[in-house]
Amino acid sequence: MKKVKQLLLILIFCSFLIGCTETKILERISLATLIGYDVANENDENVTATVIIRQVSPDNKSTLETQTNTEATNQGTRIKVNLQTAKKMLAGQTHTILFGKNLAERGLEEPLHGLMMNSELSSSIYLAVVDGDAKPLIEGNYKNITDIGQHVYNLIDHNVQRQHTVSSTLHEVVRNNYSPLRDLAIPIIKKEKDIIKINALAIFAGSKMVGQLTSEEAFYVIMLRDKFKAGALELKLPGDTLDQEKNTDEKLHVAIDSIQSKRTIKLVDKSTPEYDVEVDLACRIVELHSNANVGKPDVTKKLEKAIGKEIEKELKRIVKYTQEKNSDIFGFGDDYYASVRNSNLTEEKWNELYPNAKVNFKVNIEIVRNGVFE
């Protein structure tokens, strides 16, 4: 009995040793924080990866370095990068992954699959497309940006949180990619001298990038895809909205914020197909370039109507654009599948249906309050 106990004790101590397997001591590893992929060569499959690597050194300073390599697979590039660095590279701290525009146009199917297979990466990292190639953006010198990996992540993260651009976590992108009836939308970022900015929104058909929307138009995309919890928008209304004497060409500028919206999509005719989309939107006026008294009910009503009309117009235009590109980023196909029984809807069938789909909009605006000064 005593012997068994001793043996067990030894075994248990051995199991505590599990804590000593595969140590990853911060000073002895380097962390990839930002990865960019580009097409290396028009003719072959190879992909150039540019990696920002952060190295933490014992004297409390961390250094950044950039490594670039070309290989067909992620792991292949990784081996090559390891050959160039003094410390083992790990990818667990990667928060953002960038794709060059050329790669996005060639198709993101394989890169996305590779990212999902890797258990090191969390599926909550952000993806973005770079206008041009990713490499110059990552390697560029910026006056005010010390850590570009963190900077790009923060840039995308806060804009996603404030709903200024479409959320593009790896999970959401992969989800839409594998859903045959819905297409991707990923923000485009661009280097402009000393700053990096979110420039536009890339839209995809299948997994290939086919077009782009401006970042103002991204607002409407979010409105149709999801609900707003806190959005902001600037609109140009026709000049005669509040003042009959002015003519239509003069624009009345309005800015609204604290937008809360909810949309309902209803399939009314499944042969065309035809949708009724109703958007309920509550907001607050923060800026109005007019002297009209917004406190008056009839003025508010006029404004509400004009804003609603303007939004309807924009929505129509954007949906039309995606139809031309055959990129269903709003998930109309999913709605079709969800509301029609035994539809046997396939990707090919939906690709034929979507460009001809008819979408009717109805936007109900409610101006809840205005600023502190009338």
Partner 1 sequence: MKETLHISNNQKINAFLLFFIVTATQIGVGIHGFQRVIYQDAKQDAWISVILSFLLAHIVVYIMMKTLDMYDSNDLYGIHIDIFGKYLGNFLNILYIFYCSSAFFVIVKNYTEVINTWVFPYLSSMFLCLSILSIIIYTFKGGFRVIIGICFFSFFFLLWIPPILIIPLKYSDLNYLLPILDNELKGILKGVMSMSFTIVGFEIINFVYPFLKNKTKYKRYVHLGMLFTLFLYLSIMFVSLTFFSGEQLMKTIWATLTLFGFIRLPFIERIEIITICLWMIIILPNLCLYMWAAYRGVQRMVNISVNKFLLIFSSIMFVSGIFINKRTDINLLNDWFGKYAFAVVFIYPFILFLCALLKRQIKKMQVSNSEKS
Residues that bind partner 1 (CB under 8 A): 4, 8, 11-12, 14-15, 18, 21-22, 92, 116, 119, 122-124, 169, 171-172, 174-180, 182, 331, 334-335, 337-342
Q: Closest CB to partner 1 among 43 and 344?
A: 344
Q: How far is the CB of 159 from partner 1 (least distance, A)?
A: 17
For the beta carbon of residue 338, count every other beta carbon within 10 angstroms.
Answer: 13
Q: Which amino acid is at 113?
A: H
Q: In angstroms, what is the minimal distance from the CB of 170 to partner 1?
A: 9
**Measured from the CB atom, is 267 or 299 closer to partner 1?**
267
Comparison of 15 and 244: residue with beta carbon closer to partner 1: 15
| CB closer to partner 1 out of 134 and 153 | 153
Q: Which is nearer to partner 1, 95 or 135 (CB)?
A: 95
Q: Minimal distance in Å, beta carbon 119 to partner 1?
A: 5
Q: Rounded to the nearest whole angstrom, what is the least distance from the CB of residue 109 to partner 1 in the complex? A: 12
Nearer to partner 1, 41 or 118 (CB): 118
Q: Quote the least distance from Cβ 297 to partner 1, whole Å.
A: 37
CB of 22 to partner 1, least distance (A): 5
